[in-house]
Amino acid sequence: MNAEIISIGSEHLLGEIIDTDTPYLAKRLTEIGIEVEREITVGDDEKDIASSLEEALRRVKMVITIGGLGPTPDDITKKVIAKAVEEQLILNEEILSEIEGKFKEERKPMPSDNIKQAFLPRDSHPLKNRVGIAPGFILETRNRIIIALPGPYNELVPMFEEETLPYLKERFKVREVIKSLILRTTGLLESKVAEKLKDIMKRSKNPQVFLLAHENIVDIRLIAKAGDEKIAEKLNTGIEKRISKRLGNYIFGTSKQTLEEVVGYLLYMRKKTIAVAESCTGGLISHRLTNVPGSSNYFLGSVVAYNNRIKRDRLGVKKTTLEKYGAVSERVALEMAKGIKKIARSDFGLGITGIAGPTGATEEKPIGLVYIALAHKNKIEVKEFKFRGARGVIKAKAANTALNMVRRHLLK
């Protein structure tokens, strides 16, 4: 079974809303063996929706539309679908009763426009909306399946999980299970990871192995197919062991684990504390560490020393150091780490300074130059890095690298 997803709404084309529905649907469909061949977005224009739908119906067996099921004049998805397959829209009394009931529960009069939402194509199977008002539907016609889902993510997900997914599993007697596993690495370039795993990636057909790089993190995704979930998981585990043996501590976690979660866990298990002095990252490292529940057990505090005066007055960075080496230097990072460790009386002090751009660079100190220092016991480790990318990317890369520096030390 192959499918195409059509996301409908001019707000997406204007960049006002980020589409989270399509990636979710693509992932869930793939997991039950339905291949998504194309994903497109169209505005609230009847001709555009109609042509996209008709083309999709010629290409694939299943078309899923997202959005356009509301009560307003620009919500025309049902109208276009009915016209394309020459079906009549008829009033579904059960759906109308449910819509009226929801307005009564909220003690609000139901606008007459909402009656429109109870009209569904003849012979369609209604999909109830537990969260919102707009119902969806499934229509089987001309050896094709059309599934219409609402646009809001918090409405689409339960409708798909509770109403659509059981239908699809029963309809197609799903025999193939697709399981994915992500191994998260940092400290190696994507090209280096690919080089180390070249033979595995080439020979392994099930599971397949893919790489995705972003901000100094390279995710290794394993996708296994089998007739049984346990068999698929076993296939992934076999390749996971080979990759783990090959990459060692460059792997910091699996699935959605973050560096800050792993660092936090290691600090907590070793009963250690940390404090952070940030310049170029502007508090990003502290923000990420404190995003982890329970971080008060190991994170003591931070100083965002963006200005040199704060570096001197709060962290104790020497005036002579700043004058001689500049704010972006190995010596300043060292003194920042040492200073925050002393102030917080923590086991670790992390100091970071650099040039995130797009201004402030010189020939000697280009955009992306970052120094990271880690103070622990009576020792201070300082490293120089050069990152590429826009300002936000450089900040994210610097934060990931700093967190990884702490992680690597805690693993010793």
Percent of the chain at pLDDT exceeding 90: 88
According to CATH, the topology of domain 259-410 is Maf protein (3.90.950)
pLDDT at 105 over 80: yes
d(CA 239, CA 227): 18
Residue extent(s) of CATH 3.30.70.2860 domains in the chain:
177-254
d(CA 74, CA 115): 15
Whether omega before 207 lies within 30 degrees of 0, making that bond cis, reads yes
Q: How far is CA 100 from the centre of its chain?
A: 37
Indicate the Cα dihedral angle 345, 350, 353, 356, nearest 10°. -130
Give the other-Cβ count within 10 Å of 93's Cβ.
Answer: 9
Give the other-Cβ count within 10 Å of 388's Cβ.
Answer: 10
pLDDT at 293 over 70: yes
Rounded to 5 degrees, φ, ψ at 288 are -70, -40
pLDDT at 22 over 80: yes
Q: What pLDDT, on the 0 to 100 scale, is given for residue 30?
A: 84
Q: How far is CA 76 from the centre of its chain?
A: 31
> With contact defined as beta carbons under 8 Å apart, do 144 and 63 qualify?
yes
Q: Which band of pLDDT confidence, cut at 50, 70 and 90, is reported for residue 174? A: low
pLDDT at 175 over 70: no
Residue extent(s) of CATH 3.90.950.20 domains in the chain:
259-410
What secondary structure letter does DSSP report for 399?
H
* CATH code linked to domain 2-172: 3.40.980.10
Six-digit token string for 117:
């939402």
Indicate the Cα dihedral angle 338, 343, 344, 346, nearest 10°. 30
Q: What pLDDT, on the 0 to 100 scale, is given for residue 15?
A: 86
**Strand extents, DSSP E, 27-133:** 35-42, 62-66, 89-91, 119-121, 125-127
Secondary structure of residue 122 in the 3-state scheme: coil
Provide the residue count of the chain.
Answer: 412
Q: What pLDDT, on the 0 to 100 scale, is given for residue 231?
A: 93
pLDDT at 259 over 80: yes
Sequence-ordered list of residues with C-beta below 8 angstroms from that of 135, at least 6 positions apart, any chain: 69, 92, 95, 98, 99, 117, 118, 120, 126, 127, 128, 129
Give the residue among 377, 374, 350, 362 at the shortest CA–CA distance from 326: 362
Instruction: State which CATH number among 3.30.70.2860, 3.10.450.50, 3.40.50.150, 3.40.50.300 fits the domain covering 177-254.
Output: 3.30.70.2860
Per-residue pLDDT, averaged over 195-217, amounts to: 93
Q: Which band of pLDDT confidence, cut at 50, 70 and 90, is reported for residue 31? A: confident
Q: What pLDDT, on the 0 to 100 scale, is given for residue 256?
A: 87
Residue extent(s) of CATH 3.40.980.10 domains in the chain:
2-172
